[in-house]
Structure 1
Amino acid sequence: MTSVIKAENLKVKRTFAKKMIIIAPLFMLLLAIISGQYFVQNGYNWWYTMILPGLITLITALVNQNEEKKLNYRSVLPLPVSLKKIWLGKVTVTGIYVAVANIILLGGIIAGKLFYNTASTITVTQMMMATLILIVALLWQIPWCLFLSKKFGMLIAILVNVGGGIVLGIIAADKSFWWLCPYSWITRMMCPVLGILPNGTLAPVGDAMLNVNVIPLGLGLSMVFLVIVMAITAWWFSRQEVK
């Protein structure tokens, strides 16, 4: 499995997909700086509702395009290696890239809080916890977006995943049925972690949305959903044939 992961990493070594790891968080930091006193607040809220779903979608779409340019997966499908392992390798490499992008953003926002937006009430500990949750809870989007990109193309993948993150992530997060909508899990968990409501404003003290019990539930749902999506998409990929 290690050799598969190394091979998948080499495939995107000098591609734009890898550059996105740095470009996306730097772009987010620039937008946050423009927002002034809301640097930390908007830096995270805009990241997990818009930029991060977009980053995941673009990286997975570019990974798929990279394979399609190489004889439309003909260099992969005939290999004497389980296609499920290859799929897992792609998901793992993309997951590492997304984690690195989150860590870069974390470093930038911490620096911004210390030297630029010192009045923010969101602590470094809260930011670190939020980053860890983001890395874990959004993993299910990687195999999902890889599937969408290969099956329907980049445009559909962007419309579904980014649109879902923005629309459903905000609309469903403050509803009693939030746990039924995967796109609302992150937005809902960020309420008690960062104190940011789905609309991007800070929650007042005592707000019901600050209930920390949603964190273990949201993380548990995210991990179970990751296993389900991974299993289904890996099975689907293993049934692909050379055309």
Structure 2
Amino acid sequence: MTHHTLAPPLAGKRDNPSLATVLGTELARNRRGFVPWYHLLAPVIITVPLFLGALGSSEAKAGQTFEVFRNVTLEFWGVLVPMTAGLAAALSVRADQDAWRLLLSYGVPRGRYFVGKVAALGVLGFVSSTVLLVMLSLGAVLSGKFPGALGTVVAAVYLPWLVGLSMTALAVLVAVMWGMGPSVGVGVAGLLSGALISDKVFWYAVPFAWPMRVVLPLAGIGPNGVPLPKDSPVTDPSAIPLAVGLAAVLTVVLLAIGSLHMSRKEI
């Protein structure tokens, strides 16, 4: 008799895992392969040569080594965030095709698989941003500018990640609906938009440009890494809350669309 009273909750639990459980499973399945290593190593691979380049710059002679290193690194990071979103989503969703055939046959609310995938890639992005912050801090230590010169660096590292979650949601949705190529295309569009559109007056109309746009006023640079004049409208910090707000709305909308698509997806 006792056995019968316990059975339904266990079955219910299997068919109704919390989002945290789905996220944990996603992270566990993502711990091997190219995607986690890319997130860990990309910040190291871009910062080491950039720091060595900054040491040989003309500004280094004026004691501006760290400032040059910081500006060029943040410029690279602003365009790399959406590129990473597209690449990681494409590879991660492709790796899941066989697993989803089994998972989608359970009675689990399917939208959780989509939200869990976006959340897992978001966690990896946060780890990657943290590695970048460590590398920038090491650059500041080696330049004798730690911690004074870091200033807005923490915000300039984590805000593109936060705004870039909308690009991760978009890339995962595109990968689920149309496959790997279009998802990588989202990343390329993000890279180009960051470089070409983030300092234009209509930047807010192009979501791909948002991660780079929040970097510019914090670092005081243009998308080419060159310091901006003090009176440049691009240095206006009001763009940051606008970008964060727009990204939050877009992320929620994309998660809803993705969840709906997954619930209707045929196995």
Please give the TM-score of this superposition, normalised by the length of structure 1: 0.89
Residue among 86, 93, 105 paired with 1:57: 86
Q: Match of 1:139, SS?
A: helix
Residue among 221, 232, 235 paired with 1:207: 232
User: Please, which runs of 5 or more residues in structure 1 have no aligned partner?
Assistant: none
| Residue of structure 1 in register with 2:216 after alignment | 191
After superposition, residues 1-243 of structure 1 pair within 5 angstroms as: 1-36=19-54, 37=65, 38-49=68-79, 51-70=80-99, 73-116=100-143, 118=145, 123-162=149-188, 164-242=189-267
Query: Following the alignment from structure 1 to structure 2, what is the Cα–Cα distance between the partners of residues 167 and 58?
Result: 15
Runs of 4+ more than 4 Å apart: none
| Residue of structure 1 in register with 2:14 after alignment | none
Query: Following the alignment from structure 1 to structure 2, what is the Cα–Cα distance between the partners of residues 54 and 179?
Result: 18
> How far has the Cα of 1:123 moved from its partner?
3.2
1:66 counterpart letter in structure 2 = A
- Identical columns (%): 24
Q: Match of 2:101, SS?
A: coil
User: Please, which runs of 5 or more residues in structure 2 have no aligned partner?
Assistant: 1-18, 55-64
Larger Rg over CA atoms: 2
Question: What root-mean-square deviation, in Å, do the aligned CA atoms of Structure 1 and Structure 2 show?
Answer: 2.0
1:68 counterpart letter in structure 2 = Q
1:224 counterpart letter in structure 2 = V
Matched residue count = 236
> How far has the Cα of 1:169 moved from its partner?
2.1
Query: Following the alignment from structure 1 to structure 2, what is the Cα–Cα distance between the partners of residues 230 and 236?
Result: 10
Query: Following the alignment from structure 1 to structure 2, what is the Cα–Cα distance between the partners of residues 174 and 59?
Result: 26
> How far has the Cα of 1:68 moved from its partner?
1.8
Cα separation, partners in 2 of 1:233 and 1:82, compared to 1, 3 Å: same
Structure 1 range deviating more: 9-18 or 96-105:
9-18
2:86 counterpart letter in structure 1 = T
Contact 2:210–2:243 under 8 Å retained in 1: yes
Structure 1 range deviating more: 51-60 or 196-205:
51-60
Contact 2:74–2:215 under 8 Å retained in 1: no
Contact 2:126–2:161 under 8 Å retained in 1: yes
